[in-house]
Structure 1
């Protein structure tokens, strides 16, 4: 096969390729299998070789070069005889190519308040290599009057190393770039028209000259209309900060003179000597800016004295449930076992007034609609407190009523939040005055059982329970942790029973174990007997 034949064949490939590709970035993959015969050997042997052409991104798919892999191979292997060589097959693969994180220009114009300072060189790139152009502009400053043009600098591929780094570059790949090129790169961002450190180089203490880059987000820019710049992708544009003093002088001081700025914490000094003294200590500290308090605000002290005042009212509540066995003990997806259905049957609450104990009260309600009753009580309390004369005189501003449950988030809230649509509204009667309910889980602050917590409180301080007891014996019985047959109360009919269940029924099979926790302690058994004999007992519901 002659050289003219191969040249003609390559021209056909180029023409066919140009007609096939679309107006998108492409990758070419040339795969050819050629039967080549090598001369000047004793035994003629056939060498079958597969050639995969180098995959190169074409900047303009309509200007494909003719230096295909087949031609390159032919020119490099002239020692093969042409008269007995032939092409077995040739395949050209053309694929759409979308580089990671976009392939169009990442250029973003500077904000007006930045560009007016003439302190930042923003190279107007037409590709996704704005980071490389910014570094090149810092290392090889433009010698003409057009530092924004890429033609004012050497091409980055000739002066920088960026192997295995994808572009547009990710922020966490900049460290790798620093190692490849021996650079020290600091990044700064704009927040509320202030320039702040974004990422400081690990090599700031070395002899490397720092390169300071301003990072701009492209997500809100109108410069890029390509669909590749979607909201799901946050791309960045980089520009070289040529004059840090000019960029930050107005931000840090008002005198307008040149300042010597610490790139790390952005503190400024009047001379280079003072800056060098500062850097000795600053480089050994954390990566953050130091902002000292002003003379008028240098002492930290408590100011919100209103938070130390007691709230006018507080509600302490609890509820109990019937543990109804589920009809089916089957598991959902083999994980959750349907064991019991918890139905609230009783709610009790104590309303405590901090300034007038005559307004304090205790209420208990047991019925199917106990939760609805409790919600209605909360509504009435909120409304009555707004209309109460003393509350309006003593608490002109809005205030909250704490509603305290022990283990609210773990259990009680499952029943109460079914009526949560009412709690989302404020109860306001007169303008400027409203009462809001604030539900609090006391277990989050005191993670112990109520029995243990109450044991820390001396009997003299249990004034609320004492007020409802006639004798010391009754007081001692009511302040002790009771014994309740949780699993035995599985229906409303249990409350009508006039006799206590046997001690074997005083258990709680909470962990679904083979041996449920039963009452075997002699003190608990004696407590039940004493309670029944001393306090009035009609049925399990009283």
Structure 2
């Protein structure tokens, strides 16, 4: 036991607030974000405070014709079935009250959801722990208008979410966790295991007999991504007015960040690990984000056009002999097996039928009605043969080795299927936030995110574009990563070539082979870009880190300004942004080549390093 004791209490405060849960009232129309018809909802038209009771009775005793009208006449005869003892009227939106209701009515399993108007989605208010067909299931929806709320009956969860999903087939939805299944069988298998949204536990999956070996299967990740885009944004840190600072009481608002510019470079790479910048753009202006979206979509169109015309195969002397003598697939390392007799027979039959169709079309001079089906059977039979084929790089045409037909298809590059990674350092922590504001501007209609929490996204897919965070692979600041390359020119081929083509000498370029410094908090208005000199050293003070830059860093920034003959701060902003992106590109390409040489995997196929290392473990066996 310690003999320490408090000498005095400097401050002690208690805050007391009234708890006034929103209580349901008379009838409220459904919000506009819900479809007016075929929505699976029965909105009881009551003029009293008993909407909860009428909704429960309506769910227990369904009426086919106008179940929402005159609840006293339709459901009044069943009122005695419910035990409402110790239940306040009107029934508040409160978990303890729902639990008390279930304790009073042991045969009822109650689930209550709330409709979120802004996000157009369901949110859980209460999920019953009662499972099984012996219970009477009651699903209620709470809708809110100002300080009033109202209970409705959810007659069919499928109809409620139908219009908010691209999948228009029948949906089978778990009422306890809202997991969606396309078949009733899947839902029935899920229900006994479901623990609800907040109590779900991990289900250990034990090895199955004769299938207990874990093997590497992501063969597509062995192929270097043909294109990758490195990008970054810069921001103005605008000051807030006193009124804006006090809008949130529990969070201190300091600044508003607005994009001031962007830079990106498009890097093309082949399987020989040769790479170069094929396109780039640098822009400064108030419409930077909008222009960024437009330019990236233009780059995607150019990439799609290039990938749609793969290079012809180039075989060096001796490649054909090596191919004919090969007994193993270079991709999966598996042997080329002699196909089973039934597989060969099926292929011969499909081939014979295909020839018959072609002869028929030649005679009749029109397309055979079963042509597509016959072609499909032939392709399936050919695929089952899994014959030996020649694999080559679609970018430079180089022959890579013999492969199974199935393995070769895994490495195939599709002009409209192959993901194009857009790599940014600390995308998860910062750059994803402004991007989310304009993500709807992309023409792609499919958006997938891997969230870490409500405010951070590890990765984001927008159609064919995949936004990745290089910090998930290299968990250090860009300044430390650049230091790891030791300032050697050969480690920065992209940066050196880019600025050499701009006419800068090697001595000047060497000044850029380190992370620059930028006065983020000082650059708080567009007028600052017209300044003809750098701010004093105190202008580089960071409110976030509560510290200033070193004298050496400030002297280096001044030297860069002088050597590159800057006319105004706007030019310094552009050079800083350009350099950041190019240094990131060089660092990540060094990392990529190391991974391809050591593990045979391209990290740009993975969201984070752990996922790649997991594949590397199985691939090395």
Give the TM-score category using the shorter length.
0.3 to 0.5
Higher helix share: 2
Q: Which of the pair has the greater relative contact order for Cα pairs under 8 Å at 6+ separation?
A: 2
Higher CA-based Rg: 1
